[in-house]
Amino acid sequence: MPKGWTPTQAQLDVLFDWLAADREAAGAKYEHIRQCLIKLFIWNEFSDAEDLADQTIDRVVQKLPGLRDGYVGDPALYFYGVAKRVIQETRRQMTRQPQLEDHSWPDRSTEFETDGSDAKFACLEKCLKNLKASDRRLILQYYQAEKGAKIDFRQQMARRMNVDVNSLRVKMFRIRQVLHRCIVECLEQQPGAMKQ
């Protein structure tokens, strides 16, 4: 796909026709899919989630002429499949390109896992204490609810903070990033505590 490519109005009309027969319903479905894609990219720790969501939509739009008539099922699922491919490609590109220190993402292979290790728990406690008090309260609150309740709880948190849920997720991602770096550094100072 050429860089800077944007779909034409005719291509968007084909997309909306594919999503739903009613134009208003198609617009609502489009917006829902786009928001889900943004959440998916945020969840996968990409800072440019909106751009990646738009790239995903653009790819689907370009495939529609050959796809539309033969595709069976919910169109949203096709978008999510394309998004998975975009995630894989973007991760490959990120590993090939040297990143500036303050813009690099955590290495997922060293993510903190709760396995009962005293060293990891001690590092987590130490790093939580190093956070600003407001960030510490926020991240502890964010993870206190479980399973289905956490969605409602996080929506309530976002309302109390007067932000949308996506903004809250981005804030949590940034706090987790700081915690992750701190925990990795802490564990590196304790020989044998972390697999290299």
Residues 92 and 113 in one domain: no
Tell me the pLDDT band of 148, cut-offs 50, 70 and 90: low
Q: Which domain holds residue 59?
A: 9-96
Tell me the pLDDT band of 124, cut-offs 50, 70 and 90: confident
Q: List Cα–Cα distances, 194 to 17, 108, 186, in angstroms.
A: 53, 13, 10
Question: How confident is the model over 47-79, as pLDDT tens digits?
Answer: 778 889 889 999 999 999 888 778 888 888 999
Residues 63 and 118 in one domain: no
Sign of CA dihedral 116, 120, 126, 129: negative
Average pLDDT of 147-169? 79
Average pLDDT of 99-120? 47
For residues 112 and 93, the answer to whether their CB atoms sit within 8 Å is: no
Residues 110 and 180 in one domain: yes
Residues 183 and 114 in one domain: yes
- Has residue 196 been placed in a domain? no
The pLDDT of residue 28 is above 70: yes
DSSP run (H or E) holding 139: helix 133-142
d(CA 119, CA 98) in angstroms, rounded, equals: 31
Whole-model pTM: value is 0.49
Residues 92 and 112 in one domain: no
At 12, list the tokens.
């968007």
Residues 139 and 175 in one domain: yes
Average pLDDT of 87-101? 71
- Which residues contact residue 186 at a Cβ distance below 8 angstroms, ignoring those fewer than 6 apart? 122, 123, 126, 127
pLDDT on residue 192:
55
d(CA 85, CA 103) in angstroms, rounded, equals: 23
pLDDT on residue 97:
55
- Mean confidence (pLDDT) of the chain: 78
* Number of structural domains the chain divides into: 2
